[in-house]
Every structure is written in C-alpha cells, then in structure tokens.
Amino acid sequence: MSADDDGAGEAGFEEWRHDEAPAQPPGASKPDPWKSFRGVTAGTLILEAIVVLLALPVVDAVGGGLGAGALTYLLGLAAVLILLAGLQGRSWAIWADLAVQLIPIAGFAVYPGVGFIGLLFTAVWALILYVRSEVLRRERLGLLPGQDGPPD
C-alpha cells in the first residue's frame, strides 16, 4: 500500500467525484447543443472562404491567369461564404450552406483546383449534415448532456 493510497480505491474516488459535482441551480439554462453546432458551421464557412482566397495566387500562377471574371468569381464566392457565416442562427442556414457548395463546384470552369475545393467542402458539409441529424436524433431521445433523459 502506498503512502498516498487511503484504501478507498476507485470506488472512493468515484464517490468523491459525484459528491463534489456542482449542482445546477434551479432555473439555470441547460446547455444548448445548437449553439456549438452554429459555431462549427460558421467556422467551416470561414475556413472555406480562406481556402478560396488562397486559391487566388494559384489561379494566377498556374491557371490561365487571374482575369476579371476569375477574380470576381473568387472574391464574390469568398464574400458570400463570409456573409453566410454570420447567418448561421437562421433555421434555413444549413440548407443555404449546402446550396452554396454548387458555386465552388462550378469553379471547374475557372480552374480545376477550385472545383476540387468545392468537392472537398461538399464532403465536409455532408459530414456536418450527418452530425446534425445525429444531434437531432439524440435530442429527440433525450440523450444529450444536460437533458433529463428520454421522454416518457
């Protein structure tokens, strides 16, 4: 038996941990899973805008050059993505996020790498949509942290 072992073992630690857990005051708001989800979607849109802006020098150097059309397309796409990031609290935002993925996919006309960015982020948005459906399912079943349990 070591000097710092009080003989309580793991059961004693678990008992202590549960006793010391802070109780949520009555009337306190429960955690909102959608708040963090909105953060994930907004962050993804900002990252996508950064990637689109990083494509500017690539299109200029490797593509056919950065003409007025390509420049307008890429800057406009980045602006739309940044604006959408600020609208993630809306109920229709996830569907707008998915629909806007058609714009970078159409980037194959500007440069194949831009179209690839569109396909890559479409896959990311498909994963986000799956996570959203899983959160909805768990919320319905009462399995999310902060919920009281499954409804009767």
40-66 pLDDT, tens digit each? 999 999 999 999 999 999 999 998 889
Best CA proximity match to 104, nearest among 88, 89, 115, 93: 115
Longest dimension (CA), the chain: 77
For 88, the token pair is 């993630």
Write out the two tokens for 83: 């604006």
pLDDT digits (tens, 9 = 90+) for 73-102: 999 999 999 999 999 999 999 999 999 999
pLDDT top residue among 129 and 27:
129
Output the six-digit token pair for 89.
Answer: 């609290």
State residue 113's pLDDT score: 92
